[in-house]
Structure 1
Amino acid sequence: MNTAVRSEPELEAHHAEIIRATLPLVGAQVDEITKVFYRTLFGDHPELIRDLFNRGNQAQGSQQRALAASIATFATYLVDPDLPHPAAMLARIGHKHASLGVTAEQYQVVHDNLFTAIVEVLGADVVTEPVAAAWDRVYWLMADALIDLEKQLYVAAGVEPGDVFRDVTVVARADDPSGVAVFTVESADPCAPLPSFIPGQYISVGVHLPDGARQLRQYSLVNAPGDGTLSFAVKRIDAIGGCPAGEVSSWLHHDVRPGDALQVTLPFGDLVIDTDVATPLVLISAGVGATPMIGILEHLAANTPDRHTVVLHADRSPQTHPLRERLLELGTRLRSATLELWYQETTEGAHLGLIDLSQVDLPADADIHVCGGTEFLHSVRTQLHAAGVPEERVHIEQFTPTDWRLDACPV
C-alpha cells in the first residue's frame, strides 16, 4: 500500500506573519482550546463520543493533547519550513483515520467546533478577522493533506471513502499467559473474503457495549498474510492507578469466543516492512509493542527466513512478555536472526534492566522499526541518534495518542 503525503502549499506571507506572532499565545492555551473543542463537539454531536472516539483516551486527556500537539507542530513547520517535514505525523494520523472510516465531510465539523473553541478561550478581541483567517488557512492546509492521504488509502484498498467495516466470525481464540488473547477471524460472507495486508499493519475492531455505545480500538495483526484470515492480539487493560479498565479489551477477553460475530475494518497502518527488498531489519519493542513485530516475523518465517533480522524486546519479566513463546519459536525458524531480551528481573539468557543498544551490533544499512510506550520510544530514539542512525531509517509506532511536540528526535 504505497501512499505518500503530498507537499503542502506554502503559507502565504501575510498569514505566516500572523501565525508567528500568535503561535506562542495559541501554544500556551492549546490544551484549554482542545478541552473546550471536545466539550462543544460532543455536546453538539454525542454520537461521536458514543460510536467513534475512544472514551478511555478522552477521559484521560490523551486524545486532547494529541490533537493540540499535531496542530501546533504543523503550524510551526509552516512558518519554519527548514524544520523536518511532519510527513510521519500526517501519515500516522491518516492511517488511523482510515481505520476509523473518517471521511472528508467530517473535517468541516471539526473545523467549526475548533474555531468556536479558539474564540471562546482567547477572546474575540484577540481572534480578530485576520488572526482567524490565518489559523483557518493552517487548519485547511493540514486537513487537505490528510484528506488527500486518506483518499489514497481508500483507493489503494479498493473501497469508497469510509467503507472499511466488515462483518466477521471468530474462528479461533488463544490465550497467552501474559494476559494477551489472540483472536482469529474470517469473513462472515464467503463470497467476500477478507483482504490480505502488509506485515506490521493493524485493524480496528468495533464492539457494541452494554450501554449501547459502539467503541473502536486498533489491534495489531499477528499472523502471516494471505490465507483469508486476520489474527489480532488484545492485551487486557486492567484498572490500575485510578485509571479504569479498558472497555473494549475487557469485553473481548470476557465475552468473545469462537463462533461469535464481530465487526472489523480493513487493515491499515504505516509501520510496515518492504517485502520486496532484502535490507536487514531491526525490530525493537517493549510490552505490547511486541505484537506488530510478531506479525512481521510470521511473514519473514513463511517467506524470507534468510533475511538478516535483529529482534530486541524489553519487558518487566518473562511472564509479562506478550507472546514470548511464539517469539522464541519464530526465532528458530529464521536462519539469520538475532534475538536479544531485556527484563527487569534476573532471567537466564536475558539482559537485566532497560534496553541498551550499545550492547547490540546494529547493521549499518538496516531498516529499524520501533514500537512501545512513550518513554521507551524516547529512550530508543535518543540511543539511535547517539549511534548515528539516520532518522529516515527509523520507523516508529505508538499505540497511544501521541504528543507530537515530544516526538522529534533529540539533538
Structure 2
Amino acid sequence: MTAACLMSTYQPLALSFTRGLGTRLWDQQGLEYLDAVAGVAVTNVGHSHPKLVSAISEQAGLLLHTSNLYSIDWQQRLALRLTQLSGLDRAFFNNSGAEANETALKLARLHGWKKGIEQPLVVVMENAFHGRTLGTMAASDGPSVRLGFQRLPGDFIKVGFGDLHALDAITAQWGTRIAAVLLEPIQGESGVLIAPPGYLKTLRDHCTRHGWLMMLDEIQTGIGRTGTWFAFEHEGIVPDVMTLAKGLGNGVPIGACLVKASVAQLFTPGSHGSTFGGNPLACRVGCTVLDIIEEQGLLHNAARQGGHLLARLRMELDECAQVVAIRGKGLMIGIELAIPYRDLARRAAHEHGLLINVTRGKIIRLLPPLTLDGKEVEMIVRAITRLLN
C-alpha cells in the first residue's frame, strides 16, 4: 500500500499498528508498544475493551443511523448521563471537538445578539487551540495553525492564559461588546499549561458579574483525564457551556456541547443541526464509556497513577539538564525541554517501545489510557529517563 493518494496534512512516523489491547499496541511486525498517547487523549478506557467491543458489535447489527428527523433513544440516554454528571442542563451532539466548539461559538453570537450587541466579541486565550475549522482557528493561537488562512471569521480578543490583570484591562476597554469567554481549563496542545489556582473560579465570578458566557473547552481534559469527570470540578465551579469529544467515544467520532438551560433557549428548531451527530452507534458507545469508567473506578485510578507518574518523573529527571519543567494533572502530563530535540517520538517508539507525543517542538506530552497501572508508570519513567539521558 502507498500513502501517495493522501493529502500531505500529516507527518506520520513510519509505524503502523494492526491491533491494540488495553494500554498496548502491536505493529505490522508484531512488536509491542506501551501507548502513552491514547490517540491524543481518546482511548481513555484502553484499546479493544471487551464491553465496548460488544456494544459496538451489537449496535452495528441493530441500527447505525436514522438522522435527527426522529427521536434517538441512545442520544437521550447519553444526554441525561452527561447533564447529571456535569450539572449542566442540555446537550447537543455532533461529530468532533471542532464542531462542538463551533456550536459554542454560535451560542456566544446568539447570546450577544439577544443582549443587543451588534458586533459581539469573544475573549480567548493566548496559546489556545480549539480546532481546525475556520471559526475555531480564529479562536486559536499560533501562527503555524493560522498561516495562509487570513482573514479568519469572528471577532476575538486574546488575553494571557491565567492573567487576571489582562482580563480587567479588556473589560474596561471592550466590556460592553464582550459576550463570552472561551478557554481550555488546561491548555493541551501548548504543552499542558495549567492556570494558577483560583483562576477559573475568579473568571467564573467575573463572567457572572458581567453577563458573559463562560465556555470551557474540555475536549482534551474531559471524561476523566485529570482525575475528575471534568477539569472544572477541581475549582468547584460550573460553566455556562462546555464542549467534549475525544475520550467520550474512545475512538468512535462524537462531540458534545453541554449548556445551562438559559443558554439552550438561544437555539430554536432549524438554527443548528448535524446529519450524523448523535447517531445511535456513537451515543451507545458514549454511554458504555461512562459505564466502564464508573465500574472500573478509572477516575480514582487516573488521579492516583497520574500523581505517581508526575512524582516519579520529577524524581528521576531532577538533575536532567534538558528538562525545564514537569507539570500535569491526573494523566495529562507535560515535560518541557530547554530546546527542541528532533525525532524524540520516533526514538521513543523504536528504541524504547513507548509511544509519546511532542508538541510545540519541545514538550513531551503524556496522555496514557486511564487504565494505566503502577508497573506501566515505571515503564514510562524508565523509558523517558533513558530517552533524555
TM-score range, shorter chain: under 0.3
Give the number of the structure whose alpha-carbon radius of gyration is greater.
Answer: 1
By relative contact order (CA 8 Å, sep 6+), the higher-ranking structure is 2
TM-score normalized with structure 2 length: 0.28
TM-score normalized with structure 1 length: 0.26
